[in-house]
Amino acid sequence: MTALVPVILCGGTGTRLWPLSRATYPKQYWALAGEGDETLLQQTHQRLEGIAALQPPLLICNEDHRFIVAEQMRQIGVEPAAILLEPMGRNTAPAVAVAALQATTHGDDPLLLVLAADHVIQNAAGFRAAVEAGMAAAEAGQLVTFGIVPTAPETGYGYIEAAEPLHTADNGNPAPLQPVPIARFVEKPDRATAEQFLASGRFTWNSGMFLFKASAILAELERLAPEVVSACRSALEHDSEDLDFLRLEREAFAACPNVAIDVAVMERTDRGAVLPLNAGWSDVGSWSALWETAEQDADGNVLRGRVISEASSNCYLRSEHRLVVGLGVDNLVVVETDDVVLVAHRDRAQDVKTIVGLLEREGARESKAHRRIYRPWGSYDGITEGERWQVKKIVVNPGASLSLQMHHHRAEHWIVVSGTALVEKDGVEELIGENQSTYIPLGCKHRLSNPGRIPVELIEVQSGPYLGEDDIRRFDDRYGRSDSARQYAH
């Protein structure tokens, strides 16, 4: 049996789920669906368990998220075949091309199951059955896409028309027995057109999930979008290994057209086929969509975190830190994070993206980043600040280490509140335990490491005339970061 390689696309910022989803930590890395702690990315892989001939996944993400992706895979015990780093976003056609080229590097020709990392699928068994139903057609050279059985005349999705009516099982749902040739792709229709689509029995929503042989999609890309393959091949040939990552060469990848695989290939090929999928799919494109897919209580509420609801109905109430109380309210979305509280009517939840745009134009930090910033060694959280000082909480994972660095404009006090830290100052090392502290004067070359088995937690007090994250000179870093990158302070 031909090997099946999942290709998980981890790009996207999910601004419609702001303030939880932001550019530095978008929705695919949050636990949004179900009652457990698994993130959408982790669920994307975990729902594949049990599919025949399943191989380790290929993951494609941007450079800023590489350590998040690696850590979340480690948490579920998955060692990817590779984590490919895009220097910039170029849409799904280049991502698929890179994955296909990488998968065939050693002469292999597996089936590629292309998935987005931020989808919710409630019926995992039904999804696996659909994948297995499409494997024979994919092995025969067809380019299979999964069409979502529509539940309403949605105007926010693209549609796929099958060349013949989609047969239904006894329960009225299309039976995922065989892919059907594609007649055409249709962009987001108006409501009247969408209603006609549903009545015809030929249309499904375009999910953006695909199944095809690596050689088959490469052949069609070479025929229909050769410039994509050329640029991606060059980016892979000149890639560089960075710890457990493959970093695509920036200049070559930048020359690649920005185009979706649907536009580059699927809308133009004569090898396309659609396989109906009825498995509780959602792209969780808004807070209202998340409310619809989640399990609701007797009053129609979805409650997450430290929440109290009294005489409220049909609300999505979420707390990440502080207590949230819903008292006598209806049809609201309330989301509390470390630095923002969103209160919106459920019918206006899609408009959150306009607020993000407004914040971006103002240069507000909240548009892109949370107060807590994740790093390959752990995280830091800005607690409070004044004109010439600020206080942070720093967490260093076991065995991890910050870079060897110095600051030109600030001094630092470190107070350890949990664990044991190894501190290097101008070449001299010392162990600092709980309730102990040390002082890092301006211009001191220093490093903080965790030699223990539990996370080190410390409070950092900075003081000086300039406290920006770019006041850093880096001398050595195990994670290969450059001191010229503003976002990589610490």
Distance CA 446, CA 444 (A): 6
The Cα 302–Cα 291 span in angstroms is 6
Closest CA to 406 of 447, 374, 362: 447
Whether 287 contacts 347, CB under 8 Å: no
Rounded Cα–Cα distance for residues 217 and 112 (Å): 9
Domain positions in the chain: 4-282, 290-351, 372-488
pLDDT of 482 reads 62
Q: For the stretch 5-37, what's the b/e string if a residue is b when 16 or more beta carbons lie within 10 angstroms of its beta carbon?
A: bbbbbbbbbbbbbbbbbbbbbbbbbbebbeeee
CATH code for residues 4-282: 3.90.550.10
Note whether 4-282 and 372-488 share their fold.
no
* pLDDT, one tens digit for every residue, the chain (490 residues): 789 999 999 988 778 999 999 999 999 999 998 777 899 999 999 999 999 899 999 999 998 898 899 999 999 999 999 999 999 889 999 999 999 999 998 889 999 999 999 999 999 999 999 999 999 999 999 999 999 999 889 888 999 999 988 865 544 454 547 899 999 999 999 999 999 999 888 899 999 999 999 999 999 999 999 999 999 999 998 877 766 789 999 999 999 999 999 999 999 999 999 999 999 999 888 999 999 989 999 999 999 999 999 999 999 999 999 999 999 999 999 999 999 999 999 999 989 999 999 999 999 999 998 988 888 899 999 999 999 999 999 999 999 999 999 999 999 999 999 999 999 999 999 999 999 999 999 999 999 999 999 999 999 999 999 998 888 999 998 887 665 444 445 5
CA atoms of 355 and 402, how far apart (whole Å): 35
Distance (Å, rounded) from C-alpha 270 to C-alpha 182? 8
Task: Give the per-residue pLDDT at 483.
Answer: 52
Global pTM reads 0.88
What is the distance between the alpha carbons of residues 303 and 309, in angstroms, rounded to a whole number?
8
Peptide bond into 19 cis (omega under 30): yes
Q: Tell me the C-alpha distance between 220 and 266, whole Å.
A: 9
Q: What pLDDT score was predicted for residue 242? A: 67
CA nearest to 179, candidates 196, 163, 198, 194: 163
Please say whether the dihedral angle defined by the alpha carbons of residues 121, 127, 128 and 131, taken in this order, is positive or negative.
negative
Distances (CA, A) of 481 to 89, 472, 485: 20, 12, 8
- The kind and range of the H/E element at 84 are strand 82-86
What does the pLDDT read at residue 201? 87
Name the CATH topology of 372-488: Jelly Rolls (2.60.120)
